[in-house]
Structure 1
Amino acid sequence: MNICVFLSAADLDERYTEPARHFAGLLGKRGHTLVWGGSDVGLMKVVADGVQEHGGRLVGVSVTFLADKARAGADEMVVARDLAERKAELLGRSDAVVIMVGGTGTLDEATEILELKKHGLHTKPVVLLNSAGYYDGLREQFRRMEAEGFLPLPLTELMFFADDPVAAMTYLEAGPDAAVR
């Protein structure tokens, strides 16, 4: 599977890097390909290192203004002209999406992917990896959106909240019968 991971390029605390490293190891060991923002810094580097160390492939999609931070040792690296093109490339090259901890850029990517899914423009599974409870507030917000009629489909069809890397990978590997695609 080509698994797109949206995540921070910041250097983060171990409570976030350890689950990311664990997920990267699972991804690599199980023969999947990481499709990610291409950066060789921060949490993006942690995940790319883990995937590569465990035999997985790396497909990066950088953007012109961040090309100097792109990972030199990726199996493939695309440089998009802007963030919109980058998001389209990331989604187009992936079979599934995992959202890890991040800031406004990660939140932007996540909401766009969810909006496209909401409108039926893709059916790929989306997993939100809730490391150290980082997305507890967002989970509550989505539950409220669903309860108050803001989501045209059940939250369980829009995304899966995983509290640990094993749950995230189990959901993705369960296939179309278990994961809503």
Structure 2
Amino acid sequence: MDICVFCSAYSLDDRYTVPAKEFATLLGERGHTLVWGGSDAGLMGVLADNVKAAGGRLVGILVELLAHKAYRGADELVMTADLAARKAALLERADAVVVLVGGLGTLDELTEVLELKKHGLHSKPIVVLDSEGFYDGLRSQLTRMEAEGFLPRPLDELVFFAQDADSALAYLETAGEASAA
């Protein structure tokens, strides 16, 4: 599978870096391709290093503004004119989406792919790897939106919240098999 991962471009504490490394290693060992923001910075760089070390393929999609942060070991690097084009290209190239910890950019990417899925504009599985309960508040808000009628589809049809790397990848691989059948 080509798996798009949204995550922070900042260097983070081990409580967030370790789960990212675990997920990246599993992704590479199982022969999947990482499709990501193309940066060598922070968690993005950690993710790419570990996928590559485990034998996975790297497809970076980078915005021209951040070309100076390009990951030099990518198997393929695509430049886009702006952030909107980058988000579209990331989703287009992916069979599934995983969200690791991140800031406003990561939250923007997650909400966009959820909104597109809500409207039936894609059916790709979306997994939030909820390291250290980082996304507990978001999950609570989404649950409230569902309960109060703001979501036209059940929340569990839109997104899966995984507690660890194994369950995140297992969900994706099962969803991938189901959509291929």
Shift of 1:175: 3.0
- Return closer, same or farther for 1:27/1:176 CA change in 2, 3 Å cut-off: closer
TM-score, normalised with respect to structure 2: 0.97
Higher helix share: 2
1:99-122 residue CA offsets vs partner (Å, 9 max, x unmatched)? 110000000000000000000000
Alpha-carbon distance in structure 2 between the residues aligned to 1:161 and 1:77:
29
Q: What amino acid is the match of 1:104? A: L
For the 8 Å contact 1:171–1:178, the answer to whether it is kept is no
User: How far is 1:177 from its partner?
Assistant: 6.4
Q: Quote how far apart the aligned CAs of 1:36 are.
A: 0.1
Q: Does 1:143 align with 2:143?
A: yes
- Which residue number in structure 2 is paired with residue 21 of structure 1? 21
Q: What is the distance in 2 between the residues matched to 1:86 and 1:118?
A: 20
TM-score of the two chains, using structure 1 as the length reference: 0.97
Aligned residues: 179
Partner of 1:166: 166
* 1:2-38 CA-partner distances (Å, limit 9, x unpaired): 0000000000000000000000000000000000000
- Matched residue, 1:152: 152
Q: CA-atom RMSD, angstroms?
A: 1.0
Q: For the residues of structure 2 that align with 1:57 and 1:75, how far apart are their CA atoms?
A: 6
Instruction: Quickly say closer, same or farther: Cα 1:132–1:3, change in 2 above 3 A.
Output: same
Asked if the contact 2:7–2:44 (Cα under 8 Å) also holds between the matched residues in 1, the reply is yes
Q: Distance in 2 between matches of 1:74 and 1:139?
A: 33
Equivalent residue for 1:34? 34
Output aligned runs, 1:1-181, within 5 Å: 1-176=1-176
**C-alpha distance after superposition, 1:108-155 (max 9, x if no partner):** 000000000000000000000100110011010010000000000000
Distance in 2 of aligned mates of 1:48 and 1:104: 21
- State the Cα distance separating 1:73 from its structure 2 match: 1.1
Deviation of residue 65 (structure 1)?
A: 0.6
Residues 127, 159 of structure 2: 8 Å contact kept: yes
2:125–2:175: 8 Å Cα contact kept in structure 1?
Answer: no
1: CA distance, partners of 2:28 / 2:55: 5
Deviating beyond 4 angstroms after TM superposition, the runs of 4 or more aligned structure 1 residues are 176-179
Q: Contact conserved, 2:38 with 2:71, CA < 8 A, in 1?
A: yes
Deviation at 1:72, TM superposition (A): 1.1
Specify the code of the residue in structure 2 equivalent to 1:88. A
The CA deviation at 1:176 is 4.7
Determine if contact 1:28/1:51 at 8 Å carries over to the other structure: yes
Q: Post-superposition shift, 1:178?
A: 5.8
Which residue identity lines up with residue 112 of structure 1 in the other structure? E
Secondary structure in 2 matching 1:146: helix
Deviation at 1:51, TM superposition (A): 0.2
Amino acid aligned to 2:162: A
